[in-house]
Amino acid sequence: MNLWAFFLITDANTASITGTKQFEHLVSTGGYIITAAGRPLIQDNVHEPFIPASTIKIATSLAALEILGPNYRYKTAFYLSDDAVLCIKGYGDPSLTSEAIEEIVLALKKRSIRSISAIVLDDTLFQNAESNDWGGNSDNPYDAPNSALAVNYNSIALRKHGNGTITTGEKQTPYIPLMDEIGQHLKPGLHRVNVAAFSRPSQINHSLRYAGQLFKAILLREGIEVRGSFRKGQIDAKSQPIYTYSNPKTLEDVIRECLKYSNNFIANQLFLTAGLVRYGYPATWKKARRTMNEFLSESLGLSANSYSIWEGSGLSRKNAVTPAFLAAVLEVFKPYGFLLPKNSHGFIKSGTMSDVYSYAGYFSSQERLDPFVILLNQNRNTREELLVKLHRLYQEYVGDRQSRPFGNAN
């Protein structure tokens, strides 16, 4: 299927409905497009690449849905050695929350596990420690690093009281010592922070320390004795798990959450997992990029000149796509359009970074979804005003001309 051909129907600087000069005051550097039935209604600079920010999550989601399948479920495997060491192997589950760990511990308890000598944490399925421009060290949760074994999206909730006391920041998550370590660096108040921002050189990083401490705390809370501590390790490939947790969330559920909250951690877990499934252990950024590029070019027939994708969340400023590219992706994403957040204009995903303001999604008419894209790389945020004007134009066009062929401006 060569979707690229749909967006070469008209010249990039012409429009099917009206000229684009009426929007010049809103767009200094950027492009936009509205389509209907795969044809442009109005467009400008549609073949120029721009930084998309989080709107790239639509392409990431589509690739994951097509490669993994909408019913794909993440898993986490548990092993018990003869000397009662509990080994936990992560497979990249982005939704391994405190509630999920509670469910896991209850399942282990049903298997008559009452005492554990130590915990081994295996995160070797992902090897993503390359230098990059998106793995920031800020304490913002959106900078949380990816891992094959991560809990609560690698972000931790805690409350620092006025007297310096640290408590958990959410009822479902028990207090763990890591909260005290991190809380010493924070002002009084309720916080949710990226655990990796507070890592110190050690044998085990904060991401795994968080997982180890949280599993231990919940095991103890449920009456399972944990005599020793936890350490990083690797499960023998020949070992058989005593229990495999399959997350009840399907891939569609995970993607809905990713798009609703614009969760960068989830998006890149999907990006890395697609590469893992396509090219095998271990998951790497290189495999993930190769998988995405092959999907876009071979499965969708999109020109390699229309995109450069370095990671799946939109954090990297090396990401660049054309409005025509994103409109073509949206054409294929239509069966999953309901996964996008909905507002009065339609189904919409936003993208925001410094000097980057984007929207992409669907306007709708009579249950039909028509893609639109706004990519602005400028210091003035006119995204909302442009969206309102384009939506109004779309409504007028569809309402007045439903009986006329698309492209007829008379």
Task: Name the token pair of 257.
Answer: 């959450």
7 & 86 share domain: no
Range 171-193 average pLDDT: 96
Question: 387 CB contacts (<8 Å, ≥6 apart)?
Answer: 345, 348, 359, 374
Residue 120 placed within a domain: yes
Range 267-278 average pLDDT: 98
Task: Name the token pair of 74.
Answer: 């993440």
Task: Supply the pTM of this predicted model.
Answer: 0.92
- The CATH number for 299's domain is 3.40.710.10
DSSP state of 132: -
Task: Name the token pair of 308.
Answer: 């450069």
Residue whose tokens read 């890592």: 199
C-alpha closest to that of 9 among 30, 34, 52, 38 = 38
Residue 271 placed within a domain: yes
246, 274, 299: which is the final residue of a domain? 246
Task: Name the token pair of 363.
Answer: 């306007």
How many domains would you assign to the chain?
2
Task: Count CB neighbours of 238 within 10 A.
Answer: 5
Task: Name the token pair of 346.
Answer: 């339609």
Residue, of 139 and 136, whose pLDDT is higher:
139
246, 273, 299: which is the final residue of a domain? 246
pLDDT in tens, 318-377: 999 999 999 999 999 999 999 999 998 999 999 999 999 999 999 998 778 999 999 999
Provide the β-strand partners of residue 349.
360
212, 246, 280: which is the final residue of a domain? 246
Angle, CA 26 vertex, CA 21 and CA 28 arms, to 5°? 85
Q: Is the pLDDT of residue 122 over 70?
A: yes
Provide the b/e sequence for 258-288 (b: ≥16 CB within 10 Å). bbeebbbbbbbbbbbbbbbbbbeebbbbebb
101 & 57 share domain: no
175 & 233 share domain: yes
Residue 126 placed within a domain: yes
Residue 225 placed within a domain: yes
- The CATH number for 122's domain is 3.50.80.20
Query: Residue 146's domain spans which residues?
Result: 75-246
3-state secondary structure 92-128: CCCCCCHHHHHHHHHHHHHCCCCEECEEEEECCCECC
- Model pLDDT, residue 203: 65
